[in-house]
Structure 1
Amino acid sequence: MIDFKALAQKYDTPLYIYDFGRITAQYEKLKKAFSGRKSLISYAVKANSNLSVIGHLAELGAGADCVSIGEVRRALMAGVPKYKIIFSGVGKRDDEIEEALKNDILLLNLESEAEMDRVEAIARNLGQKARISIRVNPNIDPKTHPYISTGLHENKFGVDIETAKRMYIRANQSDHLDPVGIHFHIGSQLTELDPIKEASMIVADLVRSLLAIKIELKFFDVGGGLGIVYDKETTIEPYDYAQAILGTLHGLDVTVICEPGRFMVGNAGWFLTRVLYEKVNEGKRFIVVDGAMNDLLRPSLYDAYHKVEVVGKSGGETPADVVGPVCESGDFFAKNRPLPPTEHGDVVVVHSAGAYGFVMASNYNTRPRPAEVAIVEGKDRCIRQRETFEDLVRLEKMCL
């Protein structure tokens, strides 16, 4: 059991806590599920980019799926081997592409013909051959929140099947492009298996059609998106997930790449905040806490549900909104949630905050971002210090 009250006392609040033992267990579940075939579990760094989190997964054998050159740099700094790093993302600057090629990472994942033009030109200037994959949009409804749906033609990601085929033929004929993989990712927080299986079948058929014209791909990247339990979701078992994908790959000798993010760290993290006071407006109860939407944005951005509990308190629950100090009506962690009476200083725990928590934090309202603490073999370690006001203004200059 994690002593949240003691950690809040030691490190102050707001505060993020991550259990590295749980992260290990999630990695091992997924790695075991794909053990029947060559595979690489490539952690989606955008979910939680703390160097210690990335480094812990690297020690377990994970690669890194990166969507900015900053994330590529983080992965290298945290000890991920360059041959396990993928650079994805729908918009890459020329200098980012050049740096990735100079770092000789595993591959760049391309999302348009225009992007292929830039990669080919930059590789030519460097006298290199760029290893690439192409993100295919299979036009499958992932049945998830529209903001995290990525597999439909209305989404900005990837290219359609015919465009992908044309791009592979062109890349195969280029002196500066080496098509080594294919990629798809239909969305995040996926809780239904059928859309994943259907997408995999479509993309596997494309790989077979390419093989028929002597374009042999080495990597079959299935993206990430495996959902976790925030409330009462029925999630997909890693074994069933792997079998659904592997069952579409008959006749193909490929290494399967899986890019989990939320699945690895989501339920391994908690956000701690303290009660400042309660207020009641004409019967409407508010619990005002010291954490805010700038610290944990998901409820405000997605109307996302997170389990909320008051440490050491139970009984007498009445509906309450848990809100922060930020000057926005959208600054909340929970609405109309049955919670016990609270007092100044009570510790409130927001569960399932390990993914898309700190990484989406900001300094809105000139609020310093929280500290981050890891629990490693029962011991707590600070893996990111709390920001100070001086940190926030360090890069600013007065225009006199």
Structure 2
Amino acid sequence: MELNPKQLVAVEAELGAHNYKPLDVVLSRGEGIWVWDADGKRYMDCLSAYSAVNQGHCHPKIREALIEQSGRLALTSRAFHNDQLALFYQEVCELTNSHKVLPMNSGAEAVESAIKAVRKWGYEVKRVPDNQAEIIVCSDNFHGRTITIVGFSTDPAARNHFGPFAPGFKVVPFGDAEALEAAITPTTVGFLVEPIQGEAGVIIPPDGYLKQVREICSRENVVLILDEIQTGLGRTGKLLAEEHEEIEADLTLVGKALSGGFYPVSAVLSNSEVLGVLKPGQHGSTFGGNPMACAVARAALRVLIEEGMIENAEKMGDHFLDGLKSIRNNLVKEVRGRGLMLAVEFHREAGGARQYCEALRESGILCKETHVDTIRFAPPLIIDKDQIDWALERIAPVLRMQ
């Protein structure tokens, strides 16, 4: 039975958990930077599925890899070897200068895996007393939705009424290297941080922050874990956001665009020392590292590089940011961004960012508010100058709305 858009929304509301508040649009098709609703109206996607479709919707080369592999072998589990996993390891290590890889499925699983590995490293290598390992995180962080992760969130909506939570985490202000240094104790095993805080509203730390953090962690024998699930794979105009300050994390977490939006794929990228503590039977995943995931990830990485998407993100991000900054409205508090990870934050008296997102939807642009007062603009990395100018022509009158 075919349902019209209103009926589809009604069924969702009746049968689904109400843990999302989507804009009033029912999408049915996507190609490149564009998506179409069930009535055939076209929209520019300026969210990119929270950066999962950096390569654009339905990229033909990634789709071809998915179709081909799905006809050969989809899943074996890690009980056996498969002919795609080693190639994925080889290619991602060469691209990111990593020594070891732990493949998982979702971003949250990658974070959980990193927490487990770093704690184990703390006990077996750093010799922290059992059950005393501590990981430092930042206020306003977003690393996923599992119980462990929301336990160290500072967002009341993420935390309230989900406890009790796992101990072993300490929170410091984001962007404050001195606060990190002061929080380290002999039982500190890791520091988990986003290079740019995405869900918090594209919050960019002060210049030199990551370099200071790298120096502190190296000096204090603390594992630096960079969550690049949103910032990585070209979004900020570099393959990884850590490259803006010419550092290397001990563990780097990637996901989202690792599959170009076709399949859940994530990975913990590591030096040999940290992931080397994991032995057979101590961690795993039925789907992690499956041949279809690996084939899709290989294609997704390949097109990022071969089609110049990372360089394009840097150039087009500068153009988009300049255009957004040129739009005058006293209710706009700040326009900020790096690469194609951009945000417009409103003063509280503007009445919230959602009204602007709804007006932009009417103008053919899809984006989403975060933390009440901020709109994020994050189109696929294949966007060109003419398309950005098209978007700015429609964004300008909406942002000037009083």
What TM-score, normalized to structure 2?
0.32
Tell me which protein shows more strand as a share of its residues: 1
Tell me which protein shows more helix as a share of its residues: 2
Task: For CA contacts below 8 A with separation 6 or more, give which structure has more relative contact order.
Answer: 2
What TM-score, normalized to structure 1?
0.32
